[in-house]
């Protein structure tokens, strides 16, 4: 065997042994349903919180944009890929996030690995919540700045780290998820923004799971009164139902990002149909507050039925511990007709493998009740 294949096979065997091997499973989504291996399951493992990826008006906008502007952008935005729809998308983001300017990237992941190194470098300091998303950590690492992880959601720990380390660095960033992707809780943004002001640090919030769901759809920055967040980042791939990442910030910051963030400079612009879909989706988010409130209402209903703490977003975790336990629970729910994917390390810390339930506007209340009953009967009872 060639050394390359030998290397890959060895790694795979080790992952399989630790029950950490992951493979994409063919899944046909249709609204709240997911079809796998010929079976139709009610899915609680999709981030399309408002079911907008299937909305007729949004699909129509995408089709029309494909016909008018083509299937692809043809070049990066700084060359000829900046088609006319980008301006419309960025101005809608500004309006929704109440920011001066906005910049759209190819994906949320690309946004984070682009924005952070464009703003901080090797002399600087980044404080990152320990449960922040992988791409926030990737951006921090790529920047070359000193990285200090703070205890999850712990503003007092941030204060301690700032008091200890801030003076040694010209620039400091505090970076956190707004809604934590695997836990569903909110970052303490009011406290963090006060600390940022006191220590002259720049607060960066990744709101991938907040936009369209909390703060009347404006995101976590607006969830508990409006916090002062100068760097509001997020994705267009979750509640917006399309694809792409964004940063909302002041005009000078956005102008700098557009000329310095490498994934913006060196990667092709988004396909016009994707941008058109995001525009149509943001129009719905801005104009239908009742619909936008539904995923959180459903998540709260489930959390109540499970005797869990009140849900703060559309995400409710049920932590089971070892990967085996999470995989077995997922398989049990699949037999009951539910798709709830097990989340394992390295996506979550060791020993906290879990089921992650994601609720969408169109999950019928009756299905949520049936799910809660099944979890009680099949998983919690067999554990105790
Ligand atoms: C999904 C996610 C991203 C990545 O966004 P994509 O647009 O899917 O690349 C970034 N941050 C968080 C917190 C996420 O959950």
Each residue of 159-178: pLDDT tens digit? 999 999 999 999 999 999 99
* Cα-to-centroid distance, 110 and ligand 1 (Å): 9
Do residues 149 and 242 share a domain? Answer: yes
As a whole number of angstroms, the distance between CA 103 and CA 212 comes to 18
As a whole number of angstroms, the distance between CA 76 and CA 310 comes to 44
| pLDDT tens profile 301-311 | 999 999 999 99
Pairing of strands 39-43, 353-358: unpaired
Any ligand 1 atom below 6 A from CB of 232: no
C-alpha closest to that of 291 among 213, 178, 221: 213
Any ligand 1 atom below 6 A from CB of 90: no
Token readout for 222 is: 């607006």
As a whole number of angstroms, the distance between CA 58 and CA 237 comes to 13
CATH number, residue 201: 3.40.640.10
316: enclosing H helix or E strand = strand 315-321
Any ligand 1 atom below 6 A from CB of 181: yes
Any ligand 1 atom below 6 A from CB of 206: yes
Q: Which atom of ligand 1 is nearest to the CA of 110?
A: 9
Instruction: Categorize the per-residue pLDDT at 269 as very low, low, confident or very high, splitting at 50, 70 and 90.
Output: very high
Q: Which atom of ligand 1 is nearest to the CA of 180?
A: 13
Q: What is the pLDDT of residue 383?
A: 65
Q: Average pLDDT of the chain?
A: 96
Any ligand 1 atom below 6 A from CB of 135: yes
- Specify the 3-state DSSP secondary structure of 189: helix
Backbone dihedral region of 31: left (phi > 0), alpha (psi from -120 to 50 degrees) or beta? Answer: left
User: Do residues 52 and 241 make contact, with C-beta atoms less than 8 angstroms apart?
Assistant: yes
Residue 15 lies in a domain: no
Average confidence (pLDDT) over 7-34: 92
As a whole number of angstroms, the distance between CA 340 and CA 326 comes to 10
Do residues 64 and 187 share a domain? Answer: yes
Angle, vertex CA 11, rays to CA 7 and CA 14, nearest 5:
145
Do residues 42 and 128 share a domain? Answer: no
As a whole number of angstroms, the distance between CA 321 and CA 305 comes to 21
* Cα-to-centroid distance, 277 and ligand 1 (Å): 18
Give percent helix, percent strand, percent coil of the chain, each to the nearest 5: 45, 20, 35
What does DSSP assign to residue 283?
H
Q: Which atom of ligand 1 is nearest to the CA of 245?
A: 7
| pLDDT tens profile 188-209 | 999 999 999 999 999 999 999 9
As a whole number of angstroms, the distance between CA 305 and CA 283 comes to 33
Do residues 34 and 96 share a domain? Answer: no
Residue 147 lies in a domain: yes
Do residues 231 and 354 share a domain? Answer: no
* Cα-to-centroid distance, 207 and ligand 1 (Å): 9
Residue located nearest, by CA, to atom 3 of ligand 1:
108
Do residues 189 and 220 share a domain? Answer: yes
User: Do residues 286 and 321 make contact, with C-beta atoms less than 8 angstroms apart?
Assistant: no
Any ligand 1 atom below 6 A from CB of 204: no
What domain range is 356 assigned to? 26-49+314-383
Do residues 189 and 204 share a domain? Answer: yes
Number of domains in the chain: 2
Do residues 230 and 139 share a domain? Answer: yes
Residue 6 lies in a domain: no
Pairing of strands 353-358, 125-129: unpaired
Residue 245 lies in a domain: yes
CATH number, residue 349: 3.90.1150.10
Do residues 270 and 340 share a domain? Answer: no
Residue located nearest, by CA, to atom 14 of ligand 1:
208
Instruction: Categorize the per-residue pLDDT at 285 as very low, low, confident or very high, splitting at 50, 70 and 90.
Output: very high
Token readout for 44 is: 């609680």
C-alpha closest to that of 231 among 259, 250, 218, 244: 250
354: enclosing H helix or E strand = strand 353-358
Check whether 266 has a pLDDT greater than 70.
Answer: yes
* Cα-to-centroid distance, 74 and ligand 1 (Å): 24
Last residue of a domain, one of 237, 268, 287: 287
* Model pTM above 0.75: yes
Residue 204 lies in a domain: yes
Check whether 218 has a pLDDT greater than 80.
Answer: yes
* Cα-to-centroid distance, 238 and ligand 1 (Å): 8
Check whether 22 has a pLDDT greater than 90.
Answer: no
Share of the chain above pLDDT 70, in %: 99
Q: Which atom of ligand 1 is nearest to the CA of 133?
A: 13
* Cα-to-centroid distance, 235 and ligand 1 (Å): 6
Residue located nearest, by CA, to atom 5 of ligand 1:
108
Average confidence (pLDDT) over 52-57: 97
Do residues 150 and 227 share a domain? Answer: yes
Do residues 242 and 362 share a domain? Answer: no
Any ligand 1 atom below 6 A from CB of 237: yes
Pairing of strands 146-150, 101-105: unpaired
Q: What is the pLDDT of residue 226?
A: 79
125: enclosing H helix or E strand = strand 125-129
Instruction: Categorize the per-residue pLDDT at 384 as very low, low, confident or very high, splitting at 50, 70 and 90.
Output: low
| pLDDT tens profile 319-332 | 999 999 999 999 99
Any ligand 1 atom below 6 A from CB of 235: yes
Q: Which atom of ligand 1 is nearest to the CA of 112?
A: 10
| pLDDT tens profile 350-364 | 999 999 999 999 999
Check whether 19 has a pLDDT greater than 90.
Answer: no
Q: What is the pLDDT of residue 381?
A: 75
Instruction: Categorize the per-residue pLDDT at 253 as very low, low, confident or very high, splitting at 50, 70 and 90.
Output: very high
């Amino acid at each position: 065997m060639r050394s390359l294949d030998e290397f890959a096979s060895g790694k795979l065997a080790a992952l399989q042994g630790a029950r950490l091997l992951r493979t994409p499973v063919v899944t046909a989504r249709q609204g709240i349903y997911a079809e796998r291996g010929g079976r139709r399951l009610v899915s609680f493992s999709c981030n399309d919180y408002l079911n907008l990826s299937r909305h007729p008006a949004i699909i129509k906008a995408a089709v029309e944009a494909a016909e008018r502007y083509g299937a692809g952008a043809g070049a990066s935005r700084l060359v000829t890929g900046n088609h006319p729809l980008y301006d419309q998308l960025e101005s809608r983001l500004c309006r929704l996030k109440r920011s001066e300017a906005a910049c759209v990237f190819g994906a949320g992941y690309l946004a984070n690995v682009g924005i952070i190194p464009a703003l901080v470098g090797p002399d600087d300091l980044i404080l990152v919540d320990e449960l922040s998303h992988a791409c926030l950590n990737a951006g921090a690492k790529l920047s070359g700045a000193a990285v200090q992880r703070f205890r999850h959601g712990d503003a007092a720990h941030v204060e301690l780290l700032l008091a200890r380390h801030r003076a040694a660095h010209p620039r400091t960033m505090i970076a956190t998820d707004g809604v934590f992707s695997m836990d569903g809780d909110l970052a303490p943004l009011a406290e963090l923004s006060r600390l940022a002001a006191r220590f002259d640090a720049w607060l960066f919030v990744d709101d991938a799971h907040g936009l369209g769901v909390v703060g009347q759809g404006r995101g976590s920055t607006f969830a508990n009164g409006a916090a002062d967040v100068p760097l509001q980042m997020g994705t267009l791939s979750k509640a917006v139902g399309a694809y792409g990442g964004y940063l909302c910030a002041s005009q000078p910051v956005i102008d700098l990002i557009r000329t310095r963030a490498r994934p913006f400079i060196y990667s092709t612009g988004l396909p016009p149909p994707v941008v058109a879909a995001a525009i149509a989706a943001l129009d719905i988010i801005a104009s239908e507050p009742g619909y936008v409130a539904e995923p959180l209402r459903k998540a709260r209903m489930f959390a109540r039925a499970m005797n869990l703490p009140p849900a703060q977003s559309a995400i409710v975790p049920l932590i089971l511990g070892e990967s085996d336990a999470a995989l077995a629970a997922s398989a049990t729910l699949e037999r009951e007709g539910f798709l709830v994917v097990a989340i394992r390390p390295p996506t979550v810390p060791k020993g906290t493998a879990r089921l992650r339930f994601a609720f969408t506007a169109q999950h019928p209340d009756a299905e949520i009740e049936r799910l809660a009953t099944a979890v009680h009967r099949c998983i919690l009872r067999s554990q105790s």
